[in-house]
Amino acid sequence: MAIMLAINASYYHLLISLVLITLLAFSALISGSEVAFFSITPAQIQDLKESEDKADFRVRNLLERPRLLLATILISNNFVNVSIIILFNFLMNQLLPDSSIQVIAVINAAILTPILVFFGEVSPKVFANQNNLFLARMTARFFKFLRGVTYPLGWLLVKTGLIIERRFENLNHEIDLDEIEKAIDLSTTDGSTQEDVEILKGIVHFGNTNVKQIMTPRVDIIAVQNAYSFGEILELVRESGYSRLPVYEETIDKIEGVLYLKDLLEHLDKGDDYLWQELIREPFFVPEAKKIDDLLREIQANRKHQAIVVDEYGGTKGLVTLEDILEEVLGEIRDEFDESFEQSYKKINKNSFVFDAKITLIDMCEALGIEEDEFEEFMAENGTLAGLILELAGELPKKESVFTYKKYVFTVLTMEKNRVGRVKLITENA
C-alpha cells in the first residue's frame, strides 16, 4: 500500500513538473513576443501593409492598438509567472514536507529565479530580437485570442495608464518650463537683447501652447459666402488684403473650402457670372485643443498655410495660420496689411488712452509702460483687451459699460455687432 502511494505521489509530482515546464515555455513565448512585436521597424511595417498574407494581416491588426497589445502581453506574462511561482512552491512543500518556510523560500529563490530569468526572459528576448517578424507571425493568432480573453482588464489597464501618463506629463511640463524659463533669465547677459530672450522663451513654451490661444476668433474671420458673384469676391479680396479666404455655405459654421488669391489671378478678366466656386480648395480642420507643435507638423505635411479651428460639435471656432504659429516663437510678424502697433491705440493724456479691443494685452502693457504681470491672470485665456473686457463683464458688454480692475478703469466706447470695438482706459493715481 505504501509503495502504491509512493508511485501515485511520484506521478503527481511528475504531472506538476510537466505543467511547470509548459508554463515556463509559455512565459518564454510571451516574453519573446513582446520584443518581437515592438522591435518591428517602420520598413517592416510597410512590408506588412503591402502583404496579403493572413499572418501579416493579424500582425498589423495587433500593432494598430499597441497599448492594448502591450497590456495583453503584460497581463498574460504576469499570470503565467505567478502560476509558476505558486506551483513550484507547492511542489517544494510536497517534496520537502519537513522543511521550514524559510528553507523553502531560499530554495525558491536559488532555483526558480535563475530559471525564470534565463529561460523565461533573457533567452527568448535575444532570439526574438533577431527573428522578430518570424516570431510575431507565429504568435499573432495566439495573441489575438489572448487579447479577446483579457480585453476587459487590458482596456482598464490602458485607460488607467493614460490617465496617470497625462497627469505626470502635465506635472513634468509645468516644472520643466518654469525651471527653463528661470534659467533663461539667469543666463541673460548684457549682450543679449530682449528679443533674443523672448524667442528663447517662445521656444520653451511652444509645445505647451494650444490652437485656441493663438487663433483668430470666429467674429474676426473674414470669409466669403459661396453665393457671392465674382465681382463681389474680387472687391472683398481687395478690401481684406488676405491671400486666402474661407468659403462658407449659409453660415460660417458650414465652411466648405478655401479660396486662394493666386488662383483668381488668371481669371481677373472674367465677368460676374464666372463660376469662381470651381477654384475652391479643400479646407483643413483642426480641434481647438490641439498643441501648436503638432499643428505645425500637420500643416507642413499637408502643405497648408491655414486651418479652420472647430469645437467639439464641429462648429467654427476660429482660424489659425502658419504666421500665427511662427509668431509664438519669433514674436509679431508684421506685413503691409497688418495694423501697426501705433495705430491700435491713441494716447489722450498721460492717464487716458483709447485702444482697439483687438490689441494684445502685451502690447497694451507696452503702450502703458507697465509690467505684463499687471494683467497676468488674463494673459493665457484671453490674450487681448476684448477678452479682458468680456472676462470682467461676464457677458456681452454694452456701449458705455464701465469696468474697474485694480487702478484701471475701462469704458466700452463702441460695439461692432457682437464684439467689443474701442475701449477707453483711464489709469488712476498714475
pLDDT tens digits, 7-32: 566 777 788 889 889 998 998 999 98
Structural contact between residues 83 and 23, judged by C-beta atoms closer than 8 angstroms: yes
What's the pLDDT score for residue 95?
79
Q: What is the overall mean pLDDT for the chain?
A: 80
For 17-55, letters b (16+ CB in 10 Å) and e give eeebeebbebbbbbbbbbbbbebbeeeeeeebeeeeeeb
User: Grid coordinates representing 150?
Assistant: 483579457
For residue range 72-108, what is the model confidence (pLDDT) as tens digits?
999 989 999 898 888 888 888 887 877 777 877 788 7
Q: How confident is the model at residue 55 (pLDDT cuts 50, 70, 90)?
A: confident
Residue % of the chain over a pLDDT of 70: 83
What's the pLDDT score for residue 190?
53
Q: How confident is the model at residue 336 (pLDDT cuts 50, 70, 90)?
A: very low
pLDDT at residue 330 is higher than 70: no
Instruction: Give SS3 for 299.
Output: helix
For residue range 33-53, what is the model confidence (pLDDT) as tens digits?
888 888 888 778 888 888 888
Say if strands 306-310 and 285-287 run parallel, antiparallel, or are unpaired: parallel
In the block, residue with C-alpha cell 492717464: 351
What's the pLDDT score for residue 411?
93
Put simply, whether the predicted model's pTM sits higher than 0.95 gets the answer: no
In the block, residue with C-alpha cell 523565461: 120
What's the pLDDT score for residue 40?
86
Higher pLDDT, 323 or 313: 323
For residue range 185-243, what is the model confidence (pLDDT) as tens digits?
555 555 555 555 555 555 555 566 788 877 888 877 888 888 888 888 888 888 877 88
Q: For the chain, which domains are there?
A: 2-149 (no CATH), 211-330 (3.10.580.10), 342-427 (3.30.465.10)
User: Grid coordinates representing 26?
Assistant: 509559455
What's the pLDDT score for residue 424?
92
pLDDT at residue 338 is higher than 70: no
Q: How confident is the model at residue 272 (pLDDT cuts 50, 70, 90)?
A: confident
Helical H segments across 320-427, by residue range: 322-330, 361-368, 376-379, 385-393
What's the pLDDT score for residue 116?
86
pLDDT at residue 342 is higher than 80: no
Residue 291, φ and ψ in degrees, nearest 5: -75, 145
Say if strands 419-420 and 422-427 run parallel, antiparallel, or are unpaired: unpaired
Q: How confident is the model at residue 2 (pLDDT cuts 50, 70, 90)?
A: very low
pLDDT at residue 304 is higher than 90: no
